[in-house]
Structure 1
Amino acid sequence: MSVSHVAAVPETSPTPADLVRQRYGSDQKAATADWNPALDAILSHRSVRAYLPNPVPENLLHLIVAAAQSAPTSSSLQAWSVVAVEDPERRAKLAELASPNPQIISAPLFLLWIADLSRLRKISAEHGKTGEGLDYLESFLLATIDTALAAQNALVALESLGLGTCYIGGIRNHPAEVGELLGLPPEAFAVFGMTVGYPDPAVETEVKPRLPQSLVLHREQYQVAPPETALAAYDDTMKSFQAGQGMAVRGWTGVVANRIADVGALKGRHVLLDVVRRLGFKVK
């Protein structure tokens, strides 16, 4: 019997209410009466770190880029690019630079999402302009936002088609080396990577619960003091999730505190501004 390339669909698909409950680990006020397939894909998101070796079809890659280019873009500047990496040796080098991220090696496709002002700089010069507007933090921020919007569109499209994904922020650990490996021009910066492939059905991945809406949804003005009971309840929810996934049971607040504890927790990214400037961005 041949092995399917795509994870089997459960006999009973989760209802919209199930998907909302999974996303939070508890019931929420989100209405499900106006549900649609797009919400199915969005609320079912989970990071996939184990993939089958099957390649991602070329025509599907082009469809995903079309989805990415359908995202909003500030002033239609479209200040981003994407580099698709399939070569095993290059993926292995990128995995080393973003260590530890072995899924870069196992995933057949690795997408590098690039904040790209180089194209705009060239256009400016061709029109006899200095392009001084590109020299400020606003333009760098615009490019990174455009990049993130495009990547998230691509992620939703990929997952709606049965593929798995995982963002790789570790690509910013060594941005200059990544830029050299990808042949990036000045004023082009890899904001993050994204592994892509067909999920390995032998490795089950659950939906990770998010903070309750009482902690992130504010009405009219920001609520400076969130309900402490909500944070405590979320810690318990995450402990249950971690235990079910065979992870270290640490809750959420403790993990967050460690992630931002000191400079060392940034894994070399504390010098990112200097590196970005060496890559050609003025960032005034």
Structure 2
Amino acid sequence: MNQTIETILNHRSIRSFKKSPLSEEEIHTIVKSAQAASTSSYIQAYTIIGVRNPEKKKKLAELAGNQSYVEENGHFFVFCADLYRHENIGKWEGADVMASLESTEKFMVSLIDTSLAAQNAAIAAESMGMGICYIGGIRNDLEAVSEVLGLPRHVIPLFGLAVGYPANDSSVKPRLPLHAVYHEDGYKTDEAAMKAELDRYDETISSYYHERTGGKRSDRWTEQMAKMLSGKKRMYMKEFVEKRGFNKR
């Protein structure tokens, strides 16, 4: 096992950061690492917005559900799916690109490109001794987030990334068993085997929470998922995405 793999396998979300702003060099290294990620057909369909302004960080923290670590970190990045520059390229080059930009395919490309870039950024930060926490809470109100960041049409903020030097450590949360997510030569649909595997995972997760919280919590993973998926959350998303000029065809 090499150092890169050790960094990846040691990942945990950090929600408490030292009051040490990242240097320009650290920020640029993280962004350049994000840019080195694979991109579909060289489209590079994303933009990364670094948020320094204290009032904007405070507002984003509120919009994300009052998550303090959105405001208090070394640096806060917002990763956006971005086809705005490609819309302008079409105008400048005299090409009709709108049907393509509004397609489900290019919507998926922009989501995938952005996610690949973000994970590169996360690994780069962790390899430098920093901690990270992805912030999906900014999708609670994307209209307001877009207003805070001044985002044009064909740009969607997908998630934030809080980065900084950890003030407190946390333990690695157990993932699903390898065979639950890795199938060879086709999808394995044996429900009995799936149930048995998830039952064992539930025991692992329940023990993890029990130990971490001193017995105050011992819920199972399947219990968490059933509860979460039974509710309706951010159901405005389809309308917002189409309003932004994505996924219309």
The TM tier, using the shorter chain, reads over 0.9
Match of 2:109 among 130, 142, 150: 142
**C-alpha separation between the residues in 2 aligned to 1:95 and 1:104?**
5
Structure 2 partner of 1:96:
62
Where does structure 1 differ by over 4 angstroms across 4 or more consecutive aligned residues? none
Q: Which amino acid aligns with 1:189?
A: I
Inter-partner Cα distance in structure 1 for 2:111 and 2:80? 8
Quick check: 1:276 aligned with 2:238?
A: no
1:124 shift after superposition: 0.9
Separation of aligned partners in 2, 1:129 and 1:157: 37
- Please say if residues 176 and 279 of structure 1, whose CA atoms lie closer than 8 Å, have aligned partners that are also in contact: no
Per-residue CA shift, 1:109-136, capped at 9, x if unaligned?
1100000000011001111112121111
Show the 5 A alignment for 1:244-283.
244-246=211-213, 248-263=217-232, 266=233, 269-281=234-246, 283=248
Query: What amino acid maps onto 2:132 in structure 1?
Result: T
Q: For residues 144-163 of structure 1, what are the structure 2 equivalents within 5 Å?
A: 144-163=111-130
Q: Match of 1:65, as an amino acid?
A: V
- For residues 77-111 of structure 1, the C-alpha deviation after alignment (integer angstroms, 9 at most, x for no partner) is 00000000122211110011110422112213110
CA distance in structure 1 between the aligned counterparts of 2:209 and 2:72, rounded to whole angstroms: 23
TM-superposition CA deviations, 1:11-38 (whole Å, max 9, x none): xxxxxxxxxxxxxxxxxxxxxxxx1111
Q: Distance in 1 between matches of 2:16 and 2:217?
A: 19
1:54 to 13, 17, 20: 20
Three-state SS of the structure 2 residue aligned to 1:260 is helix
Please say if 1:179 is aligned against 2:146: yes
Where structure 1 has 5 or more consecutive residues not aligned to the other structure, the ranges are: 1-34
Considering only aligned residues, what root-mean-square deviation do their CA atoms show, in Å?
1.2
- 1:170 equivalent to 2:137? Answer yes
Aligned length, in residue pairs: 244
Separation in structure 2 between the aligned mates of residue 135 and residue 219 of structure 1, nearest angstrom: 35
The 1-side partners of 2:11 and 2:51 are apart by: 23
Tell me which amino acid in the other structure corresponds to 2:68. P
- Give the aligned residue type for 1:127: E
1:86 and 1:108 in contact (8 A); partners too: no
Q: Which amino acid aligns with 1:231?
A: L
Unpaired runs of 5+ in structure 2?
Answer: none
Q: What SS does the corresponding residue of 1:255 show, helix, strand or coil?
A: helix
Is the contact made by 1:239 and 1:250 (CA closer than 8 Å) also made in structure 2?
yes
> How has the CA–CA distance of structure 1 residues 88 and 36 changed in structure 2, closer, same or farther, with 3 Å as cutoff?
same
Q: CA deviation at 1:230?
A: 1.4
184, 193, 202: which one pairs with 1:219? Answer: 184
Query: Which residue of the partner structure matches residue 209 of structure 1?
Result: 174
Q: Does 1:234 align with 2:201?
A: yes
State the shift of 1:282 in Å. 5.2
- Report the Cα offset of residue 52 of structure 1: 0.6
How many percent of aligned residue pairs carry the same amino acid?
39
Partner Cα separation in structure 2 for residue 282 and residue 260 of structure 1: 24
